[in-house]
Homo-oligomer: A and B are copies of this chain.
Amino acid sequence: MDVEKIFRMKGGVGKTSYSKNSSLQKKASDKVKYITLETIEQVYLTAKPKSLGIADLGCSSGPNTLSNIREIVDAIEEISRRTLQPAPEFRVYLNDLPTNDFNAIFQALPDFYGGLKNGRSNQGAPPSIYIAGYPGTFYGRLFPDNCLHFIYSSYSLHWLSKVPQGLYDETCRSINKGSIYISDNSPPEVPKAYSKQFQEDFSLFLHSRSKELVSGGGMVLILLARKGPNHIDRGNSFFWEILYRSLASLVRKGDVEEEKLDSYDVHFYAPSKEELEDLIKKEGSLKLEGVEMFEIEKDVCDGSATSYGTRVAMTVRAIQESMIAHHFGDAIVDDLFDIYGRMVDEEMAKEDIRAVTSVVVLRKL
């Protein structure tokens, strides 16, 4: 399965789009927004560049994409005013896989620029902002040398470049039957294969970004993670466990072939804090300024009538639909995520399960 050609957040603005189902990601990135803004402010105050290069890696499409940019621009303009400097020119590079719905982002740009102009009569002309889409995998080079001051990536780096090779035997059959990610049923080769793939991918990511950052440039990486050395935790592997169980119930109903489910594995990995620290140290050109771990609380009262499980199901669907539809066919998708939502509600009634997120702050030496 060629991840680069298939994997994407659900495009458009429909009911099942990522655009309409990314409020959990927004909630989490809002929680750490102060870290993002502090980091870019520090970089800006140290380097004081006339032209500030900012990249959002795995930007997806939807309200989060441009609102992040807006907040960063506002923060830097505010600092410029406070320090009596002219605001810099902003070069903004939006990156995601070529399958991402860039059209939806781009079509929102005239209103975005319009919004920047409005209500600015006291503050003079709006800043110069040049926004570009840079499609491609971030596991490799995306931008020229030394062109970025700040790199931001929210909920993208837990996606591996591919399903790990080590999950398949010589006859190309998955050795991870009974699971789609690391689970209690997985043989020990499975976490090893996942961990190895993450090491390769994350090292390549760091190495590529280090070339693209100017000296002193900063990076804030927000990704799903696990709390300790044990791969099987309730926080992240649990949500894949539920997806496996939902698929298995469709096998029992005769809607999915067992063989199809056996051969499905996700290209996801939740690293531990220690793994992240270790890989950053090995890379050598980036200084780790901090790693924080936090849990996203269950939002019991978001004003909607839909259950928490349904909302989680919609979020997972917007993220996974491209891969699932490619492997199992479109027909099962509605049914699958109905079951998924119900299962999440059942489990959450028994126990409050919270996904764990890590925030990594780095500076180029």
Interface residues of chain A, those whose CB is within 8 Å of chain B, are 4-5, 11, 51, 89, 91, 93, 98-103, 106-107, 109-110, 128, 130-136, 141-144
| Residues of chain B with a CB closer than 8 A to A141's CB | 128, 130
Tell me how many chains of this kind the complex includes: 2
Verify A109–B102 contact, CB threshold 8 A: no
Cross-chain pairs A/B with CB under 8 angstroms, 28 sampled = A4-B110, A5-B107, A5-B110, A11-B103, A89-B144, A91-B144, A98-B106, A98-B107, A98-B109, A98-B110, A99-B107, A100-B106, A101-B103, A102-B102, A102-B103, A106-B133, A109-B135, A109-B136, A130-B134, A130-B142, A130-B143, A131-B134, A132-B132, A132-B133, A132-B134, A133-B133, A133-B134, A133-B135
Interface of A is mostly: mixed
Instruction: Name the contact of A132 in the complex, choosing from B93, B98, B103, B128 (C-beta under 8 A).
Output: B93
- A131, B101: Cα distance in complex, Å: 17
| Residues of chain B with a CB closer than 8 A to A128's CB | 141, 144
| Residues of chain B with a CB closer than 8 A to A134's CB | 130-133
CB distance from A57 to the nearest CB of B (A): 14
Interface centre among A100, A128, A141, A144 (most CB of B within 10 A): A144
CB nearest to A137 among chain B residues: B110
| Residues of chain B with a CB closer than 8 A to A106's CB | 98, 100, 102, 133, 135
| Residues of chain B with a CB closer than 8 A to A135's CB | 106, 109, 131, 133
| Residues of chain B with a CB closer than 8 A to A102's CB | 102-103, 106, 133
- A110, B4: Cα distance in complex, Å: 8
- A51, B212: Cα distance in complex, Å: 14
| Residues of chain B with a CB closer than 8 A to A110's CB | 4-5, 98
- A135, B129: Cα distance in complex, Å: 12
| Residues of chain B with a CB closer than 8 A to A98's CB | 106-107, 109-110
| Residues of chain B with a CB closer than 8 A to A99's CB | 107
| Residues of chain B with a CB closer than 8 A to A101's CB | 103
Task: A93-B132, A109-B135 are known; give 10 further A-B pairs, CB within 8 A.
Answer: A4-B110, A5-B107, A89-B144, A98-B109, A98-B110, A101-B103, A102-B106, A131-B134, A131-B135, A132-B132
| Residues of chain B with a CB closer than 8 A to A131's CB | 134-135
- A142, B91: Cα distance in complex, Å: 11
- A134, B130: Cα distance in complex, Å: 8
- A346, B128: Cα distance in complex, Å: 52
- A135, B134: Cα distance in complex, Å: 12
| Residues of chain B with a CB closer than 8 A to A136's CB | 109
Verify A130–B103 contact, CB threshold 8 A: no
- A128, B110: Cα distance in complex, Å: 31
- A296, B93: Cα distance in complex, Å: 39
> Are A144 and B130 CB-contacts (below 8 A) given A109-B98, A110-B98?
yes
CB nearest to A112 among chain B residues: B98
- A103, B93: Cα distance in complex, Å: 16
- A103, B103: Cα distance in complex, Å: 6
- A109, B102: Cα distance in complex, Å: 14
| Residues of chain B with a CB closer than 8 A to A91's CB | 144
| Residues of chain B with a CB closer than 8 A to A144's CB | 51, 89, 91, 128, 130
